[in-house]
Amino acid sequence: MDTLHDSSDIDVRRRVAAWLLTCCALLFTIVVVGGVTRLTHSGLSIVEWQPIVGTLPPLNEQAWNEAFQNYQQTPEYRLVNFGMSLAEFKGIFWWEYAHRLLGRAIGLVYVLPFLYFFVRRIVDRSLAWKLAGIFVLGGLQGALGWHMVQSGLIDDPRVSQFRLAAHLGLAFAIYAAMLWVALGLLAPRRVPPHDTPRRGLWRFSLTLTALIFVTALSGGLVAGIRAGLAYNTFPLMNGHWVPPGILTLEPWYSNFFNNLATVQFDHRLLAWLLAAVVPWFWWRSTRVTVSPHARLWCHLLPAVLALQIGLGIMALLFAVPVALGAAHQAGAMLLLTAALVVNHQLLVTADGEQTQLARAALRNAA
């Protein structure tokens, strides 16, 4: 194994993996809280980025009044929430504060153990570089979050859908990187499968994971322009499979980012594609010899997809209430998790079977 300084130390390997999985759980939580923050229109309530000083919330009435006065200078207050009371402001402030506080907590939970593992030489250079890269991505995520908030503090009381999708996509990427490294520590892998059927299934699983990621990004665009509040019918979009206003904007390509009908249609189309491709993948997996763990996750993948599609339909029909919208965002992360575990288990299957063949050869030679 090439990821730890002492390849025989299984306990250490598990400790590092447990730490990364804890960070994954925290990141999962902050993504859900971020969804609630967006759905409650709380994301623009804190108008400054103070990574250190901003750790503490307003602690007295004067501090609350100052925070409220800062918010009253924003276009969201003037154009959307004019006349809001201080009590109402506190209601949206706490969601954004919780989101930022979780971000700071994740930073500490990540960097302090990483420094400990690095200084104690528990991880080798290869793994240290991977972990350092994830930390850099985390720092970029914080900066991108503030860059996103800034877009809603100038003229338009909405954040840019591009920055929102990028913020969500980077969160998914960081989550995927931490989970992948943790899985590698818990179940070491070497090379992709050599036999043609399983190699094809593994490549299929990678394509499927990429499709899930792209679908999640399209969901970020839907959230960014609030396209979920339009066409709240299913399976048709106000009586049409393809809404008539799908290409009304000029230039034509702007429809894919700014047109409510097009953005929602694209997200639905990707969901339909997943609804067809995932069962196909499952069917192919039943015709390939894989390990029991890989088989289990191949069975779980369509179940998680069914849950996610059901949540998406319910959120659409009820015009995206907070609980269903947040659950749908959580479901996207669960679906990505299932796909990543399938990817890894298919690699582990090959490695385990090679070991079994090697042992059989030794027995025959003896």
Residue 268 tokens, joined: 């639905």
Residue 353 tokens, joined: 């079977």
Residue count (the chain): 366
Q: Please state the separation of Cα 209 from the chain's center in Å.
A: 12
Q: What is the mean pLDDT of the chain?
A: 88
Q: 243 with 261: CB under 8 angstroms?
A: yes
Quick: pLDDT tens for 108-122.
999 999 999 988 888
More confident residue, 125 or 215: 215
* Nearest Cα residue to 173 out of 19, 32, 324, 31: 31
Quick: pLDDT tens for 260-312.
999 999 999 999 999 999 999 999 999 988 888 899 999 999 999 999 999 99
- Over residues 236-257, mean pLDDT: 93
Residues 6+ apart with CB under 8 A from 112: none
Residue 328 has pLDDT above 90, yes or no: yes
* Nearest Cα residue to 327 out of 350, 344, 349, 310: 310
Distance, CA of 346 to CA of 294 (rounded, Å) = 6
More confident residue, 326 or 154: 326
Residue 20 has pLDDT above 70, yes or no: yes
Quick: pLDDT tens for 134-143.
999 999 999 9
Q: 31 with 155: CB under 8 angstroms?
A: no
Q: What does the buried/exposed string (b/e) look like for 239-268 if buried means 16 or more CB atoms within 10 Å of the residue's CB?
A: eeeebebbbebeeeeebbbebbbbbbbbbb
- Over residues 37-60, mean pLDDT: 84
Distance, CA of 203 to CA of 27 (rounded, Å) = 27
CA dist list (Å): 275 to 202, 279, 280: 19, 7, 9
Residues 6+ apart with CB under 8 A from 339: 205, 208, 209, 212, 301
Enclosing H/E stretch for 212 = helix 196-224
Partner residues linked to 240 by β-bridges: 237
User: What is the pLDDT confidence band of residue 159, given thresholds at 50, 70 and 90?
Assistant: confident
Residue 361 has pLDDT above 60, yes or no: no
User: What is the pLDDT confidence band of residue 2, given thresholds at 50, 70 and 90?
Assistant: very low
pLDDT at 195: 65
* Nearest Cα residue to 248 out of 235, 234, 273, 265: 265
Partner residues linked to 237 by β-bridges: 240
188-194 CB contacts, 8 Å cutoff, 24+ apart: 188/1, 188/3, 188/348, 188/351, 189/344, 189/347, 189/348, 189/350, 189/351, 190/347, 190/350, 190/351, 190/354, 191/347, 191/350, 191/351, 192/347, 192/350, 193/346, 193/347, 193/349, 193/350, 194/350
User: What is the pLDDT confidence band of residue 189, given thresholds at 50, 70 and 90?
Assistant: low
pTM of the model as a whole: 0.90
pLDDT over 90 percentage in the chain: 68
Phi, psi values for residue 47, rounded to 5°? -100, 5
pLDDT over 70 percentage in the chain: 90
User: What is the pLDDT confidence band of residue 150, given thresholds at 50, 70 and 90?
Assistant: confident
Partner residues linked to 123 by β-bridges: 4
Residue 356 has pLDDT above 60, yes or no: no
